[in-house]
Structure 1
């Protein structure tokens, strides 16, 4: 959860649960804090797994495996530079 998202959520929740907001970035995937009229106290809930055909076409990056070298991380630098700059890659 990025800083802008956290600031938005902080404006939407009551002051007495503001301390819970510090925990939001560390929640695992599919977990959330349920607040509001639906529950008398904040609850930690886990969302059901979506069927494959309903999932977003993205996944969490596997930072640990890349960090430890278990999985290679191939980077297409020329394409990345072109995407960022809008310029074609320099020819050698």
Structure 2
């Protein structure tokens, strides 16, 4: 059961990452600003994932990878929410 929960959590995290970057590409016109947004978001997410993984590295087998992916998803969640609300406002 724990494995299923971990896999669902990882799939949701990857979906949040994809949604955030897709909406960023849709809502920001092609410019260096867009690439800066993608890069900064990815850099912050990887740094947060690394910090969380350093705490959970001694966890069960594969726990570090799951913690890394989940942390990247958590780091992308606030921008994804903001971009979603911005899209709803435009409608």
User: TM-score category by the smaller chain?
Assistant: under 0.3
Q: Which of the pair is proportionally richer in helix?
A: 2
Q: Report the structure number with the largest CA radius of gyration.
A: 1
Q: TM-score, length-normalised on structure 1? A: 0.28
* Greater RCO (Cα-Cα under 8 Å, separation 6 or more): 2
TM-score normalised per structure 2: 0.28
